[in-house]
Structure 1
Amino acid sequence: MTNLQENLTALSADLATFERKIQNLAKEMTIDLSDYEIDHLALRVNSEQNAKNWLILLLKCGKILSDNIVNGRKIYLVKLAKPIKFAHQFVDVIELPFPKHKQYSIEGWEHIEIVIPFLQNESINEWVNRINMHFLWNELTQLNIKVSEPKVVGERLPNPSIAVSFANKAVNHTCIKVHPYSIEKIVEV
């Protein structure tokens, strides 16, 4: 197995631009990414064929960690043999959702996910409220906030998500999602 930069020239060429856009979003969110574990990076594609092509390339750099159906579509998690450096961290999981019915304005790198753990005995609602009260993202009109909880058969841990993106996607289409557990912990058997 080789590394991402050697195999995925199209994706790795866009990685620096993606990182810059994510850093700009983090700045608007008033968070320092080095304070949080970056769990994984995620791609978005519009066609089944593009998804298959990216999966073939990703599998030259790693192995499938998970291939579950989430919200009606297959989502692959690929664990890289050699982590990539992103925002001063090393990230070794790439998420590749196969397309459903949505068309994205930009294909390629789309979001990262960071981990802000539950406090002891904290419920999902308490976790969401704590994060909202701490960061006050929902008071920033330039940002969109979406709270969800994808359900996947076989996952034992709750997987709530707070997705933060710019309201004006034409300026910056990226997204930072917050979860209480790393994706590897979520998909553990």
Structure 2
Amino acid sequence: MTSIDQILNKEAPPFIGRAIDTLKASGIHVGTYQIDHICYRTGTLEEYTELKTQLEAIGHVLTEGIIGGRPIATYKLHPEHAIKLVDGTHPIQQHLDVVELPSPKPGRPYPSGLEHIEIVVDNMSLEEFAALYPDIKWDWRAMGKTVNRDLKVDFGGFSVKFHERPLEVVIQMEKEGRL
């Protein structure tokens, strides 16, 4: 199994670059928005457990809970392990330091790998953001969530989700009982 540190530093930057390029090609401009976090899906519970151990060595857990019938953990990476994004091509921000790690849902296997990035749209509502791009086939299913609703677009093999707040902020608000 490839180490999570290698995945985050070797595979994640080109994955994020491909996502940004695909958004641009679709006409969606995100240059001023923060890439909040990246999601790496695990194919087995054993892999989930192993990668949690690896992530604990390069960061700290923000939260872990059962969501949608399976465990999901979110980690904040130590600064020296943050994903470096500045490569001259995609200068959106200097680094990305939050990783979402879901285990597979029971009875719904899928391959391990980078699955999506999430971007914070904090200067307008998600409805207003979607209205800027009427030709995009938006997935509105998570807009009814009471906490951390999101707007998603699938690109075949990966997706990009848009939120109104950074996940780390949402987690902190939940811990403080403000959500």
Cα distance, 1:133–1:181 mapped onto 2, change above 3 Å:
same
- The share of aligned pairs that are identical, in percent, is 27
Alignment of 1:47-86 (within 5 A): 47-82=44-79, 83-86=82-85
* Structure in which a larger fraction of residues adopt strand: 1
C-alpha deviation, 1:118, in angstroms: 6.6
Cα RMSD after superposing both structures = 2.4
- 2:68 partner amino acid: N
Correspondence for 2:139: 145
For normalisation by structure 1, the TM-score amounts to 0.74
Cα distance, 1:96–1:175 mapped onto 2, change above 3 Å:
same
Tell me which of 140, 147, 151 is aligned to 1:158: 147
Alignment of 1:71-150 (within 5 A): 71-82=68-79, 83-86=82-85, 87-88=90-91, 89=93, 90-100=95-105, 101-104=107-110, 106-117=111-122, 119=124, 127-136=125-134, 139-140=135-136, 143=137, 145-149=139-143
Kept in 1, the 8 Å contact 2:37–2:97? The answer is: yes
For normalisation by structure 2, the TM-score amounts to 0.78
Kept in 1, the 8 Å contact 2:36–2:96? The answer is: yes
C-alpha deviation, 1:27, in angstroms: 1.6
| Structure 1 segments unaligned to the other structure (5+ residues) | 1-5, 120-126, 152-156
Kept in 2, the 8 Å contact 1:41–1:111? The answer is: yes
Aligned: 1:178 with 2:177:
no
Please, which moves more after superposition, 53-62 or 22-31?
A: 22-31
Structure 1 outlier segments of 4+, above 3 Å: none
- 2:53 partner amino acid: I
Kindly provide the CA deviation profile for residues 19-65 of structure 1, in whole angstroms up to 9, marking residues without a partner as x: 23212322234234331011111111111111112111111110101
| Structure 2 segments unaligned to the other structure (5+ residues) | none
